[in-house]
Amino acid sequence: MNNEIARFNMIEQQIRPWDVLDAAVLSLLSTVRREDFVPPALRALAFVDTQVPLIAGQPGGPAMLEPKVEARLLQELQVQRHEKVLEIGCGSGFMAALLAHRAQQVYTLECRPELARMGRDNLHRNGILNATVVEVSAAAGTLGLPAEAPFDAILLSGSVPEVPRELLQQLKPGGRLAAVVGEEPVMRARLYTRTGEASWSEADLFDTVAPRLDGFAEPTRFRF
């Protein structure tokens, strides 16, 4: 397979038709080697319009999101060169690499040791020096990275039932948070913007489905 042709086709046939028209984002996707962040056994899926599992034998577990979803979230966050960014769900490190090319500093959280190692190794091998992988405990009860807050942008690289206020409060005024919210079969990518000390606006972006992030409480289900 010719990776450069496959990358071009991914951008032109999957990403651009999904309303990703930001020239800087498209240029970044053409230069950051997605195949370097895919598990070796699944490298043939690097440019396919599908989620790529990150841990063998765990169907429905952590996965790289579809290229078009990654690209759209990156475009909507509008990260600037002077900004500090938090990602929750490092996975293979690919989204952290994209964010690092646009931001001043990226912190990316991962609660699975094997994925923390994968992400750290992939970022190092690709020369990404301004992204720090922070291994955390999903059971610790603390969300985000309060010690480094506030952030200009936060990205949840997976889905959650709802976005906790604890995370929104780690945004600077004017800061943005992108997440996939809801439950299967209907989830929605949503962009939150901090508008005041205790106020946020939100905008629905698109419908999708993404694997659950660890450490976020599921809603209580009542039975009668």
CATH number of the domain at 183, please: 3.40.50.150
* Digit-coded pLDDT (tens) for 92-127: 999 999 999 999 999 999 999 999 999 999 999 999
Compute the C-alpha angle 14/154/212, nearest 5°: 65
Is residue 220 one of the residues assigned to a domain?
no
The pLDDT-based confidence of 220 (bands split at 50, 70, 90) is low
Say whether pLDDT at 140 is over 70: no
Q: How many domains does the chain have?
A: 1
Q: Are the beta carbons of 116 and 89 closer than 8 angstroms?
A: no
Say whether pLDDT at 139 is over 80: no
Is residue 133 one of the residues assigned to a domain?
yes
The number of C-alpha atoms within 13 Å of 92 and in the hemisphere containing its C-beta is: 24
Is residue 117 one of the residues assigned to a domain?
yes
How far is residue 27's CA from residue 210's CA, in Å, rounded to a whole number? 25
Q: Where are the alpha helices (DSSP H) in 21-155?
A: 23-31, 67-77, 94-102, 113-125
pLDDT exceeding 70 applies to what percent of the chain? 97
pLDDT score, position 222: 52
Is residue 7 one of the residues assigned to a domain?
yes
Is residue 213 one of the residues assigned to a domain?
no
Is residue 214 one of the residues assigned to a domain?
no
pLDDT score, position 141: 67
Is residue 187 one of the residues assigned to a domain?
yes
pTM of the predicted protein model? 0.94
Is residue 215 one of the residues assigned to a domain?
no
Domain extent at residue 70: 3-208
* Digit-coded pLDDT (tens) for 182-199: 998 889 999 999 999 889
Say whether pLDDT at 204 is over 80: yes
